[in-house]
Amino acid sequence: MDQSKAEERVKELRSLLEKYGYYYYVLDDPIVPDAEYDEKLQELLNLEQEYPELQTADSPTVRIGGEPLDAFVKVQHEIPMMSLGNAFNEQDLRDFDRRARQGTKEELHYVCELKIDGLAVSLTYENGRFVRGATRGDGTTGEDITSNLKTVGSIPLRLKEAVDIEVRGEVFMPKRSFERLNEAKEKAGETVFANPRNAAAGSLRQLDPKIAADRNLDIFTYAIGNDKEMRTATHYEAIEYMKELGFKTNPESKYCRDIEEVISFVNGWVERRNSLNYEIDGIVVKVNSLAQQEKLGFTAKSPRWAIAYKFPAEEKVTTLKDIILSVGRTGAVTPTAVLDPVQVAGTTVQRASLHNEDLIREKDIKIGDQVVVKKAGDIIPEIVRVLEELRDGREKDFTMPSTCPACESELVHLEEEVALRCINPQCPAQIQEGLIHFVSRDAMNIDGLGEKVIQQLFRHHLIAGISDLYKLQKEELLKLERMGEKSVQNLLSAIEASKANSLEKLIFGLGIRFVGAKAARTLAEEFDTMDRLRRATYEELTAVYEIGDKMAEAVVRYFELQEVNELIDELQKLGLNMEYKGPKKQDISENTTFSGKTVVLTGTLEALTRTEAKERIEALGGKVTGSVSKNTDIVVAGADAGSKRTKAEELGVDIWEEPRFLEETEAGR
């Protein structure tokens, strides 16, 4: 076969395989036997190997899995993938409805969707072709797993229209695939997966795409994250549009005219959830109108226009074998129940936090009791109650000790606290927990330094405090178990890279009492440098919006400690950044160009990402929204601006090209 005939045959095979794959993976309605599909796929693979110049990034052969990756690259989501608030009963749903109606002053309609228990991903298409897939990560930054997602048959590699669009979906492992996978792992003597969600997440985070290709993953797309042309006006229309483009959406989604229809839908699925071939852990409820969604907006963590109803927790009976103690990074000593292993909501539960001695007394918990266990929110194991009627007299009371189980220092009750606390700053358990917090995602975010690695380093006396992390040597790390040349180099590179983090990461990582990630950002933004922050007075701190009395007092006390100041000085000498690098808020009273203005970004900007442009506008007192209306003051139009620019022209809204936007924002910085 010459090249011209090969090219014709390749096009024909790709067209056939795309059609076969769409019917098989998306519609669940195969139109040819598996053998026919496999035969055509092998023929295409042979032709692409014979004529490499005919290979393309969206060929069906990429689903087989390409070469292994060295590591996953970080990806910043242009529009954050926010988590949802939770509802646990009908009253929570009615409260959500009441708040939404108060926020819009309008009649609301909803869309209900099954909450798939999988891994949330973002899929980006340019000119209709799949170019990038990423995990949700922390909502702002995920990991590029494009190679693995290409192996998921229900993810289209080419859409039915040549559009630029980003959609969100949930990758999951069907129950039958999960059972087959665990059977194979058992036969091979390997550890089985606890549940389908873990199996799906583990499959997508394999560096070798061939492993993901063998796991038979699936996806339901549930939302359009970014459609620059704004082709739909409601969420339900968006679902229908995704189907038209070739995406697989969940067939059980339902349009509801009011909250009573929502509650009826929810109650129906509480009974039927186990009838599906995939795991669900609740129902997502969304306001249907996109304009109303925009009007309702967001809290710091989640949209006000959506909520996740969580199914009632599954309860199981097991034996409480023992109560052990753990010491947290702030010194709080927490009792934990050790249980006979029991399957609850898809995972094996062996431990449950008992929080404090008062709770043990309140629930009359004894060692040896038969107890009812559930997972709060289907996540955190907890003891619901004791089955006192099953006691036989062999049960034992539990009493909290008077000394720390880690360092034997005397435990104290601080004012207005229920917990017992170890106040020894040299307590090894506190130091270790503090290190685990310091390297965590919301703090210094050091890849490769998870809890087990920290424990290993601590156990081998390679670290005893935060500063020791930045003194680790390659030679000493190579001596440790499961520490090869490549993993050690990656770890040292991640540690070195963390030195450049903006100040708020370090502030949060230090673990100052009452200071969470958001407060750390506020403090960094306000005081700009670590030196200014550690010299700040109580009065200066409480003058900062969102910094209350308790937090201000905790910050002052923290920086009064000599060992804290010695640590910060040492970290500075080791090269850690001590300045805030994020966008700085301007005083709105300065009357900048954007003060109090509503701005819409449309089209593609060349000099900035959409997120960077948004940060500039907000830093200068403006508000960024997603759609053009009579309330819009400025539309910033990049290349291929499309319908939003047209609407702005119709409404007489001021339109800025990118050069003017850059000039105005630079002038105000």
Q: Name the catalytic one among 5, 40, 74, 115.
A: 115
Q: Which H or E run contains 647?
A: helix 643-651
Q: Which residue has the tokens 């440098």?
A: 529
Residue ranges of alpha helices (H) inside 105-174 are 146-149
Three-class HEC string of 223-238: EEEECCCCCCCEHHHH
- The single-letter code of the amino acid at 664 is E
The label of the residue with tokens 């490549």 reads 486
Are 632 and 651 a contacting pair, CB within 8 Å? yes
Which residue is associated with the tokens 């629930």?
A: 363
Q: By CB neighbour count within 10 A (0-12 exposed, 13-18 middle, 19+ buried), where does 289 fall?
A: buried
Question: Cβ distance 278 to 272 under 8 Å?
Answer: no
**Per DSSP, which regions of 503-613 are E strands?**
598-602
Run of H or E residues at 318: strand 316-327
**What is the spatial distance between Cα 222 and Cα 172, in angstroms, rounded to a whole number?**
13
Rounded distance, CA 456 to CA 463, Å?
Answer: 9
649 Cβ neighbours under 8 A, 6+ residues apart: 655
Task: Report the C-alpha gap between 53 and 231 in whole angstroms.
Answer: 36
Q: Which residue has the tokens 């200014």?
A: 532
| 3-state SS, residue 411 | strand
Residue showing tokens 């988590």: 83
Cα atoms found within 13 Å of the Cα of residue 246, Cβ hemisphere only: 23
Helix (H, G, I), strand (E, B) or coil at 491: helix
Which residues neighbour 325 within 8 Å (Cβ) at sequence distance 6 or greater?
333, 334, 335, 336, 400, 401, 405
Q: Is 115 a catalytic residue?
A: yes
Cα–Cα nearest to 479, from 463, 457, 494, 506? 457
Residues annotated catalytic, as ranges: 115
